[in-house]
Structure 1
Amino acid sequence: MQQLTIVKYGAAREAYELQEVSQPEPEPHQVLVKVEGFGLNYADVMARNGLYKEAPKIPFVPGYEIVGLVTGKGAGVPDKFLGKRVVAFTRFGGYADFGLADHRAIAILPEDIPGGEACALATQYCTAYYMTDYQSRLHAGEIALIHACAGGVGTALTQLCKRRGVKVVGLCSSPRKMEYLEKMGVDFRVNYKDVNYSEVIEKEFGKRKMDLIFNTVAGKSFKDDLKLLSHGGRMFCFGGAARSGQKAHVFNDLAFLLKTGFISPLFMMMKSQGIIGVNMLRIADHRIDIIGHCLHALVDLWEKKEIHPQVGATFKAKDLAAAHELLESGNSTGKVYVNW
């Protein structure tokens, strides 16, 4: 089998090596999937640059989600999965033409769902659904601020919020992405490269009017967002994009932490606010059943046409470096998908 392995940290064109290795054997609760394609996530970029603390040490194969055909299974896996096309959460190892996944974190797919859309469900839509429908409950009339709104998770959050009657305030970084957000039905769009987003939002809506904030950036934006969060509001923190672009070094880590700041639960209690950290790898490690619950619910929503994953770009596996460069550039929208 073939796999794309990170052999050194740094630029995409130097970090990866295509390797021939033996096909893995599924362990108990695992299925073996013949992979047709896999998705990219910004955590892959962070891992390639040595900035993702959850990643294994190099050399390792990244990748959180795959789409393909189940060709083998270990003990404890129901027979119903054999021969079925599935989407699977892999927790690394997805950049390969055969992959292993826990059967509790896979879902059988409708025949007509494209590979890229299916891959979007596994990590990006699961992350969004976990925040909007599992950890929390959305209420019609609320206002949600979504960082990186044109990205994969941002797209998913937008659709999941809109289906519940939540008004969406979306942040993005270019005129082209502003057009994308308009097509997505985002109610109030802000290019944060041109203006101070917190000032613009406060001017439009007033002080402390964001009922929900989905922050994938951290750093200084966390402090700015706290000033926008309403009494009774909830902020979800699920990324650290502000740390990207810097070398892996303890001083850079400390500076990042200081910019993000520290909060006391007492101050949160006074405003009846909630700060929720989201790490889907930890959920996969300790509550794999939650991943499966979210995946099955999302496949059902796709079949009902209540969600519409957007695939912004598709690449061949041999062009993985170009796919990574697009994602890292900040110019991608929706899902970036790679097939074999």
Structure 2
Amino acid sequence: MKAIRVHEPGELDMLKVEEVASPQMKSGHIRIGVRACGINFADILIVKGLYQEKPPLPFTPGGEVAGEVLEVAPDVKGIKPGDRVMSMIGTGGLAEEALVAADMALPIPKSVSFEAAAAFSVAYGTSHVALAHRAGLKSGETLLVHGAAGGVGLTAVEIGKLMGATVIAVASTREKLDVAKSKGADHLINSKTENLRERVKEITNGRGADVIYDPVGGASFDQSLRCIAFEGRIIVIGFASGTIPQIPANLLLVKNILVVGLYWGSYAKKRPEILMGSMHQLMTWLGEGKITPHISHAEPLSNAVEALRALEERRSTGKVVVTMGAD
């Protein structure tokens, strides 16, 4: 089968499509013919050796897949060849075939394409667990989303609206803000041309945002501390800016602020019931058409490097996917 392989950590340009053996079947697993693989910023960090989890070399990046079941281990029940499934797999997704743990595979609704399914789990799962479980977002509260047109930010806008919040979207260009507006954002702030603190205070009549969703870090986090409401919650999702902020604890004390982290992938091992409960709720919304993945770039496996580069260079909005064959 064809697959992207990483033989040593490095830049994206070193990645090539290679012919490799299909993964060997294991107990409790299924083999799928991958039709689409969702690209996440973590994939770039893994390729460069900068992620907190480092798979043994050589490996195939790509942790979010959708496809058709080709083979089922003898001990797996309830899944059969030909079923359309989606799953998170950590690594191995940028390939024509992938081995998937059967208990992590979810059926794809008939109305949902392979591309949309591959763009779904990580971005929507991250935002739903962050907002519902970690921050306890309530209907009627104000949610501010940094990086609101990005892979996770855009899903936070969409889910926040579904949960009954007033959503303030923050992004760096008019085009990106328009994408956030299309997903339901009530207010838009251009991070390059507007004063975040002043605009948030204006929008909230001086109160500030109840919940702030931050996948950016750096200056965005610093500004968040100055426009959050009393007893507000800041959710730390990541550091796309490249700068990990240092928190002045006195500001937490004065406003009774809660700062919580969300590393979604750890729930698969630590609290899988949280992750899967969230995913079933999201799958219900997906099947009902209440949420719809936004995909700005779709590239074939032969051009997977361009897909990764589009995300790295922040040319994408929503999700980027790599496809293997026609849908």
TM over 0.5: yes
Determine the structure 2 residue equivalent to 1:313: 297
Q: 5+ unaligned residues in a row in structure 1: which ranges?
A: 244-255
1:46–1:194: structure 2 CA closer, same or farther, 3 Å change rule? farther
Structure 2 residue identity aligned to 1:163:
L
C-alpha distance in 2 between matches for 1:165 and 1:216: 21
Of all paired residues, the percent bearing the same amino acid is: 27
Runs of 4+ in 1 over 6 A off after TM superposition: none
Q: Match of 2:112, SS?
A: coil
Higher mean C-alpha displacement, 218-227 vs 303-312: 218-227
1:57–1:262: structure 2 CA closer, same or farther, 3 Å change rule? farther
C-alpha distance in 2 between matches for 1:202 and 1:48: 41
Determine the structure 2 residue equivalent to 1:40: 39
Determine the structure 2 residue equivalent to 1:5: 5
Determine the structure 1 residue equivalent to 2:268: 284
Q: Is the 2:148–2:157 contact (alpha carbons within 8 Å) kept by the matching residues of 1?
A: yes
Q: Match of 1:178, SS?
A: helix
Q: Is the 1:5–1:18 contact (alpha carbons within 8 Å) kept by the matching residues of 2?
A: yes
Q: Normalization by structure 2: what TM-score?
A: 0.90
1:292–1:30: structure 2 CA closer, same or farther, 3 Å change rule? farther
Structure 2 residue identity aligned to 1:56:
P
Q: Match of 2:225, SS?
A: helix
The answer to whether structure 1 residue 296 and structure 2 residue 280 are counterparts is yes
Structure with greater helix percent: 1
C-alpha distance in 2 between matches for 1:135 and 1:26: 36
Q: Match of 1:79, SS?
A: coil
Count the aligned residue pairs. 324
Q: Normalization by structure 1: what TM-score?
A: 0.87
C-alpha distance in 2 between matches for 1:77 and 1:291: 21
Q: 5+ unaligned residues in a row in structure 2: which ranges?
A: none
Q: Match of 2:120, SS?
A: helix
Determine the structure 2 residue equivalent to 1:155: 154
C-alpha distance in 2 between matches for 1:207 and 1:227: 11
C-alpha distance in 2 between matches for 1:101 and 1:232: 42
- Correspondences of 1:68-87 after superposition (within 5 Å): 68-74=67-73, 76-87=75-86
Q: Is the 1:116–1:336 contact (alpha carbons within 8 Å) kept by the matching residues of 2?
A: no
Deviation at 1:95, TM superposition (A): 1.1
Q: Match of 2:321, SS?
A: strand
C-alpha distance in 2 between matches for 1:55 and 1:221: 28
Determine the structure 2 residue equivalent to 1:239: 238
Deviation at 1:189, TM superposition (A): 1.0
C-alpha distance in 2 between matches for 1:74 and 1:224: 51
1:182–1:82: structure 2 CA closer, same or farther, 3 Å change rule? same
